[in-house]
Structure 1
Amino acid sequence: MLQTTKAIILRTTAYGDTSLIVSAYTERYGLQQYMVKGARKSSKKGSSMSTMLQPAAIVELVVYHNELKQLQLVKELKWAVVYQQVMHSIHRNAVALYMIELLTKTLRQPETNEELYAFIEDSLCLLDQCDAAVVANLPLFFSLKLAAMLGFRIDDDKPDGICFLDLQAGSFDTEPPIHGMYLDAALSQVAFELMQQDNAVTLYRIKLNQQQRRELLQGFIHFFQYHVADFGRLKTVQVLQEVLG
């Protein structure tokens, strides 16, 4: 049965001489795998499809959807959102690719979650339009909010005074844990401030230097590694840190 859905492209794999297998997070069906025939043809149509199937692209798909099949077939695709900067700005593209890799590591089941889809799409659209101060802090905000939406949020019930964020327990405490997997008091305070932001638009208010941003991001990645089975390492982090500084 033909169905239409918006989708965020996560990754592609070559299949045969001219086709692609596409992993995408869709608005209607959650995580899905699609066959896109002719996407690698050396033709104008093939080139156009390849451009629309880059990681982080937001497209509208017309698909043959069968819940009994693991691989669905794409009949048509077109842009749902046309970026102005994400695909061309080194800084914004580095953030987008980090966000996409984080999604590929954490999204495992084809479950519909329209709220999660909206959060991801809104984050990518904001990345395309926001100023540099928001771009730099967006990976931190996105990581925290994604964890919360996936069900292992950090408890923001923070005691008064000096506190430490325990990355294993996902909570703040007045004493550092003995296991060593925690953020120091200064970084814990920043993490708490990030968690209080309801919208990424306000991220410009949080002033961080290069070292703080790097240590926070590494801490959040450790949090994911502890809470997500077979999470592994993220390949995009080094480039992200070099680009954002």
Structure 2
Amino acid sequence: MVILPAIDLKDGECVRLVKGDYSTAHKVAQDAVSTARVFESAGAKWLHVVDLNGAKAAHPVNSEIVFKVLQDSGLKIEIGGGIRSMETIDFYLSNGVSRVILGSSALNDPHLVKKSVQSYGERIAVGIDALNGKVAAQGWTETSTVDYLELAKRMEQYGVKHIIFTDISRDGTLTGPNLEMLDRLNHAVSCHIIASGGVSSLADIADLLDLKLYGAICGKSLYTGALDLKAAIALCGEEKTNGMY
């Protein structure tokens, strides 16, 4: 299982939110570049980045910082937030980003998902963020009537290979991931499932490993010191050598 430390960018700063509420944003690190260096030195290979301003503005806002991190580290980056057009997808992927995450577009613009997957294949991921099982969009400011499993199956049909699932009620709360919803999702589709939201400890990482997920995103737990990134990566490495993955 791949561990993806997270950096959320708002107004150029590294912040964390609670349950996606922008009013709860608080700075958690000095800057994105030095934070990425720390993650890389702990053994991370991937970085999960969200442009929070971009998610609301519907276009990239903090891309300059993302590219600085790329230039300064050997980390692969997946980026989400405000990616609503082929131009934006081309912009990120042609400038070194490894994977882009379509969120609101998955719900509102299926043509964009299909077209981007045809062009870029596995470099397109879809973020499914749910509240009480229903998909949210527009930076989590709106909730639809679409069930998260229904949307996931639709994405699978479009050829999407990576799905990042967030239970909004757990995000930034350190209360543990929603294992039941993740397990259902992992069994419902053949896509690689990346868990996001609620990871609070090494025990949570072990639980996610037991579900045989592709990846886990860790944010607040790393910034508070509740989770040791090096230990989490080592645990996943041990599982690989035991022949589980």
TM over 0.5, shorter chain: no
Bigger radius of gyration among the two: 1
TM tier, smaller: under 0.3
Please identify which structure carries the higher strand content: 2
- Provide the TM-score with structure 2 as the length reference: 0.23
- Provide the TM-score with structure 1 as the length reference: 0.23
